Amino acid sequence: MDLLGGFAVFGTVMLLISALLSLTFDSEFFVQLKGTIMGVLGALVLLTDGVFRKGKYFAPRFERYLNAPIKHQPFVIGLSVLGLLMAGINYAVAKLLTEDQWLTYTTFIDMPLYLILFFMLISKTSRKEAPEISNR
């Protein structure tokens, strides 16, 4: 029985990649870009699952934590697009704004923006149950 839903392995691999990037590159600007790199890597893994496996790996594991069933392929592809979008925004903020402005963005704006978009994705990819038909 898969008690952790496969997320423990994925999270551990992403953590090791993050640690390797931190040890390899030592610059303040790279600290700002590490979120972009990790976001793109995670999004590409999700996109691969969504396109080639129709979301059959990640979607059922996410579905365990959601209140309602979801359409697997659209959810996983949407989640990967969301990851790429957030990585792109992080890159733009890191490149165009000052380090203090990036820090403000990543502290106060990044997570609320992600959560709003994530809940919109859930609402768009929820499988609506068909209404019960009465035989009266």
Q: What is the mean pLDDT of residues 4-23?
A: 80
Confidence check: pLDDT of 134 > 60: no
* Average confidence score pLDDT of the chain: 88
Confidence of residue 51 (pLDDT cuts 50, 70, 90): very high
Confidence check: pLDDT of 99 > 80: yes
Q: What is the mean pLDDT of residues 115-134?
A: 81
Confidence of residue 128 (pLDDT cuts 50, 70, 90): confident
Whether 90 and 47 have beta carbons less than 8 Å apart is answered as no
Confidence check: pLDDT of 131 > 80: no
Rounded distance, CA 37 to CA 63, Å? 26
| Tokens 């303040």 -> residue | 28
Q: Which two tokens stand for residue 25?
A: 């590159």
DSSP state of 136: -
Q: Is 126 helix (H, G, I), strand (E, B) or coil?
A: strand
Rounded distance, CA 37 to CA 90, Å? 10
Q: Where are the domains of the chain?
A: 27-125
Nearest to 13 by CA among 32, 41, 34: 41
> What residues have CB less than 8 Å from 35, skipping those under 6 apart?
87, 90, 106
- Which pLDDT does position 125 carry in this prediction? 93
**pLDDT tens sequence across 14-47:** 889 888 888 888 888 888 899 899 999 999 999 9
- Which pLDDT does position 90 carry in this prediction? 95
**pLDDT tens sequence across 106-120:** 999 999 999 999 999
Nearest to 43 by CA among 15, 88, 8, 81: 81
Whether 35 and 22 have beta carbons less than 8 Å apart is answered as no
Tell me what percent of the residues of the chain surpass a pLDDT of 90. Answer: 59
Rounded distance, CA 100 to CA 47, Å? 32
